[in-house]
Amino acid sequence: MRRWVLHDTLTFQMLAKAACSTKLPSPSISDDTTSVGLNKRRANVGLPAPVLPMSSTSESSRSCRVSWGINKFRNSQAAMEAIATRYHAPATVRQSYMTEFAVECPKCKNEAAITVSSPWFLDSGKLVCSHCTHSETAADLVRYKVSVRRNCDTCGKLISKVIPHSKAPVDAFAIPCPSCGEVRMYKPKNESYTQPYNDPSDGLAPVFDLPLWLQGSIRGNLFWAYNRQHLHAIKEYVGAKLRERQTTTHTTMVERLPQFIKDAKNREAILKLIEKLERKLPTAP
């Protein structure tokens, strides 16, 4: 039997109609090598595979026309739905969204914005709050561990002194020897480090480690987004019932989303949360 390769629902409908009216052999449905098969698409949108009538008797032709009418409606509905809910955003990676972070201001607890010059240079981060005018830079978070550990120049006994969180490096400081009491100037070692607001974890911006403004719980799982664009991209993906790979060159941001976000059973709950989070954002002018 000739195998028909169906590329879209419209072609399918035309063939089905032809099968009813002109005694054509019922087309079989198969995936071709260049496009996703119709059965797969139908499975993705949650519809059963269609059944085409075979018989050419007048009775079955009538029932064929009736079922064709019903199926035509169903198929066109499904086609429209699939087109309307197909994910077709650019194949972005998570870093594509890591230039701005909506966070909770450490002073007034309202929404503040962190901007960085590059996702790969988070030390360039700058925090600005438009509610309380608080601002600071990632460089402000740098601290120094200043330490001296050596033997006394006079008596040879051990001298040890540490300043754990100095805001600036120290060139030299005077230390009295605990054994002989001699006070001398010593040159310390300065080790720099960044002191964020919190220990790094999910739900925190990767610079300053402040709580992300856009976050919420879904059945015990933490949902979060860096900013409006990130939230919108996730919303598009979650809302789409047909999710196809956008590229084979890299793994995209949406493909790396946690399983609970991809899970169809959580779709409604996540879309509801996203809409709630959208209301926390200022409306565009």
How far is the C-alpha of 271 from the C-alpha of 275, rounded, in Å?
6
Q: List phi, psi (to 5°) of 154.
A: -95, -55
Residues recorded for the chain: 285
- What is the closest distance, in whole angstroms, from the C-beta atom of residue 103 to Zn ion in the complex? 10
| Positions in the binding site for Zn ion (CB under 5 A) | 105, 107-108, 129, 131-132, 134, 152, 154-155, 177, 179-180, 182
- What is the closest distance, in whole angstroms, from the C-beta atom of residue 104 to Zn ion in the complex? 9
Task: Please list the residues that pair with 101 across neighbouring strands.
Answer: 114
- What is the closest distance, in whole angstroms, from the C-beta atom of residue 147 to Zn ion in the complex? 18
Q: Mapped to the 3 state alphabet, what secondary structure does 108-127 carry?
A: CCCEEEEECCCCCCHHHCEE
Nearer of residues 16 and 210 to Zn ion, judged by Cβ: 210
The DSSP line for 11-55 is HHHHHHHHHHHS-PPPPPEE--SSS--HHHHHHHTT-PPP-----
Nearer of residues 69 and 156 to Zn ion, judged by Cβ: 156
How far is the C-alpha of 194 from the C-alpha of 171, rounded, in Å?
20
C-alpha closest to that of 103 among 72, 77, 135 = 135
- What is the closest distance, in whole angstroms, from the C-beta atom of residue 144 to Zn ion in the complex? 26
- What is the closest distance, in whole angstroms, from the C-beta atom of residue 212 to Zn ion in the complex? 15
Nearer of residues 81 and 111 to Zn ion, judged by Cβ: 111
Nearer of residues 52 and 177 to Zn ion, judged by Cβ: 177
Nearer of residues 129 and 270 to Zn ion, judged by Cβ: 129
